[in-house]
Amino acid sequence: VSGDDWWRGAVIYQVYPRSFQDTDDDGIGDLKGVTRRLPHIASLGVEAIWLSPFFTSPQADMGYDVSDYCDVDPMFGTLADFDEMLGEAHRLGLKVIIDQVISHTADRHPWFVESRSSRTNGKGDWYVWADPKPDGTAPNNWLSIFGGPAWEWDGVRKQYYMHNFLGSQPDLNFHNPEVQDAVLDAARFWLERGVDGFRLDTVNFYFHDKHLRDNPPLVPDPDATSNDAPDVNPYGMQDHLHDKSQPENIAFLARFRALLDRYEGRMTVGEVGDGARSLKTVAAYTSGGDKLNMCYTFDLLGPDFTATHIRRCVENFQEAVTDGWVCWAFSNHDVTRHVSRFARNEAERERVARLAITLLSSLRGSICLYQGEELGLPEAELAFEDLRDPYGIRFWPSYKGRDGCRTPMVWEHAAANAGFTAGKPWLPVPEDHRRLSVDAQQTGDTVLDHYRATLAFRRSQPALSDGTMRFLDTNSDLLAFVREKDGERLLFVFNLTREPLEFLAPSAVEPLELPGYPARPEAGSIRVAGLSAFSGKF
């Protein structure tokens, strides 16, 4: 896989700039910090980095509320710092993907300031404004993902505006072609600067039902594999049928792709969370080669780390999406770190961290790693006073929010704040993360070393990045599959349970040097220990 198709099967490393590396002692990471730490990322052997938002923002949702799409927030640096980071990344052979958060803006974005100033201004229709019902209540029953109604009253316009997330994240009205042009202009700005691609935040939230029809109640689908946000909305659960994933989005995504195709080797990965419909939405967005290159779903972001779940996710995906492409991930800045989700106790954490990356890198698709997972970091335990995530603050303690996966990277175990900052970090550096610092894992048989070896193995086997994937029935809790390309067949058997299980090899298996899990050339019944893997060629 090369050239324009570099993203197919690529390994992408997500950087959360606030928590990566601070260089100006304000306790918040910055772009100069990213540049400084690029060699670490390159040393992992990944193809690309995805940078979470660093744009001008009031930071109500940690930068996912943008007030200027074409500038860097002073907290993160300057456009010159961005250019320097991009140049350095390219010099190291890393592609750079940036987040575009265009479904909504910050309420302080000049577009919204103008839009809310009157009903008749030039941007009056740029957001989703609606009159109240005759009794003064919200136009319909739509709920915000972050809790409460999706409508906020505006005393000047005497109308409600819609927000899928925070009240300070008003939704843009994509039915208005001027809005589409404006967000495409922002994307063009970054394409001209040389970015290699975009992660499109909440890509299925761009359009809403023009008739503002009520959402129906949620009927849970037992076969759904998606792990959407925990539904802690005290206003109830509903099926987001009319406030997202509208058919009009397809044409807009084609416009986005047409812009991208004017440049060489650029890509988009869309973030799709659509409950039981997620895979259908992904199919609609990635098929045909004229919309998104790939989509990121929430299927593997939940607590389920079993053979049945992993197989069902991959098979559901393969059934739904014939010519599209997926990007898998176990962790990101929105969910509990996977070591803490999957391990039953502290003693298991390291084995889980190792097995999870081996499994992730043998799946068909591209993969996203989240900063710190290469160290096996567990979720941080924070006190309520430490929280900064409005989502967590709102629902504590039934839901503790997303700060536990956003604590600073740990670089030097003996340094103040583990080398993240010389100031006061915006979230504390957990004491138990220190011993897992990058410097402490640089030599020896560590999780970090296992990540490097595993990613090198993935690169060395063409069948892994884009070969076919087919499951074998095992009559047990083993997860067994074959990856195949150009006549080369690789067998993988994962035991995600805690007990040894027997695998009956279909034919003689030749050794394959899967890092951390040496192959045994055997035929017949093969014993696979709990939380370990077996592989071979056959």
Strands (E), 46-193: 48-51, 55-56, 68-72, 95-100, 129-130, 151-154, 159-162
Taking the complex as a whole, how short is the minimal distance between the CB of residue 244 and ligand TEU, in angstroms?
Answer: 10
Strand partners for 40: none
Q: Which residues of 111-130 are buried (b: 16+ CB within 10 A; e: fewer)?
A: bbeebbeeeeeebbebbbbe
334 binds ligand TEU (CB under 6 A): yes
Helix ranges, 49-142 (H): 79-91, 110-115
Q: Closest approach of Cβ 245 to ligand TEU, in Å?
A: 12
Please, which residue, 372 or 536, has the CB nearer to ligand TEU?
Answer: 372
| Tokens read off for 239 | 């099926």
Minimum distance from CB of 55 to ligand TEU (Å)?
12
DSSP state of 74: T
Under the binding rule (CB under 6 A), the answer on residue 165 touching ligand TEU is yes
Element (H, E) at 527: strand 525-528
Among 15, 101, 436, 469, binds ligand TEU (CB under 6 A): 101
Residue 273 touches ligand TEU, criterion: CB under 6 A: yes
The pair of structure tokens assigned to 485 is 């390309």
Q: Please, which residues bridge with residue 143 across strands?
A: 149
How many whole angstroms separate alpha carbon 144 and alpha carbon 467?
40
Nearer to ligand TEU, 152 or 334 (CB): 334
> Least distance from C-beta 387 to ligand TEU, angstroms?
14
Residues in 52-71 that interact with ligand TEU by CB under 6 A: 61, 64
Q: Does 17 bind ligand TEU (CB under 6 A)?
A: no
Q: Is 271 a catalytic residue?
A: yes
Among 99, 271, 274, 379, the one annotated catalytic: 271
Catalytic residue (one of 61, 152, 201, 373): 201
CB of 340 to ligand TEU, least distance (A): 14
What is residue 62's DSSP assignment? T
- Nearest to ligand TEU of 394, 413 (CB atom): 394
Of 115-123, 178-186, 330-338, 430-438, which segment contacts ligand TEU by CB under 6 A?
A: 330-338
d(CA 250, CA 241): 16
- Alpha-carbon distance 35 to 526, whole Å? 47
The region of 80-88, 329-337, 429-437, 517-525 touching ligand TEU under the rule CB under 6 A is 329-337
SS3 43: helix
Burial of 493 (0-12, 13-18, 19+ CB in 10 A): buried
Rounded Cα–Cα distance for residues 28 and 269 (Å): 27
Which DSSP letter does residue 72 get?
E
The least CB distance from residue 415 to ligand TEU, in Å, is 29
Angle separating helix axes 349-360 and 447-460, nearest 10 degrees: 10
* 3-class DSSP state of 453: helix
- What distance in Å separates the CA atoms of residue 167 and residue 162, rounded to the nearest whole number? 8
Q: Which is nearer to ligand TEU, 369 or 533 (CB)?
A: 369
Residue from 60, 182, 229, 415 touching ligand TEU (CB under 6 A): that is: 229
Region from 16-24, 187-195, 233-241, 331-339 binding ligand TEU, contact rule CB under 6 A: 331-339
Nearer to ligand TEU, 22 or 334 (CB): 334
Q: Measured from the CB atom, is 390 or 536 closer to ligand TEU?
A: 390
Considering the complex, state which of residue 73 and residue 201 has its C-beta at the smaller distance from ligand TEU.
201
Q: Please report how close the Cβ of residue 228 comes to ligand TEU at its closest, in angstroms.
A: 6
- Taking the complex as a whole, how short is the minimal distance between the CB of residue 54 and ligand TEU, in angstroms? 14
Q: Which is nearer to ligand TEU, 273 or 378 (CB)?
A: 273
Please name which of 313, 319, 142 lies closest in space to residue 235, comparing C-alpha atoms: 142
Select 35 or 105, whichever has its Cβ closest to ligand TEU: 105
Amino acid at 384: F
Site for ligand TEU in 172-211 (CB under 6 A): 201-202
Strand-pair category, 11-15 with 48-51: parallel
Asked if residue 403 binds ligand TEU (CB under 6 A), the reply is no
Residue 145 contacts ligand TEU per CB under 6 A: yes
How far is it, in rounded angstroms, from Cα 233 to Cα 243?
16
Question: Token digits for 521?
Answer: 């050339």
Cα–Cα distance, 432 to 337 (Å, whole number): 14
For the bound state, the minimum distance from the C-beta of residue 238 to ligand TEU, rounded and expressed in Å, comes to: 15
Rounded Cα distance, 350 and 364, in Å = 24
Number of residues this chain uses to bind ligand TEU (CB under 6 A)? 14
Binding of residue 107 to ligand TEU (CB under 6 A): no
Binding segment (CB under 6 A) for ligand TEU, from list 4-12, 328-336, 438-446, 518-526: 328-336
Minimum CB separation of residue 145 from ligand TEU in Å reads 4
User: What distance, in Å, lies between the first and last C-alpha atoms of the chain?
Assistant: 24
Amino acid sitting at position 482: V
Active site residue 201: yes
Euclidean distance between CA atoms 225 and 275, whole angstroms: 8
Figure out which of the listed residues 335, 356, 429, 533 binds ligand TEU, where binding follows CB under 6 A: 335
Q: Does 454 bind ligand TEU (CB under 6 A)?
A: no
Main-chain phi, psi angles of 6, to 5 degrees: -55, -30
Kind plus residue range of the DSSP H or E element containing 535: strand 532-537
Under the binding rule (CB under 6 A), the answer on residue 243 touching ligand TEU is no
499 phi and psi, to 5 degrees? Answer: -110, 150
Q: Which residue, 61 or 107, is less far from ligand TEU as judged by CB?
A: 61
- Residues engaged in binding ligand TEU (CB under 6 A): 61, 64, 101, 145, 165, 201-202, 228-229, 273, 333-335, 402
Q: Which residues are the active-site residues?
A: 201, 271
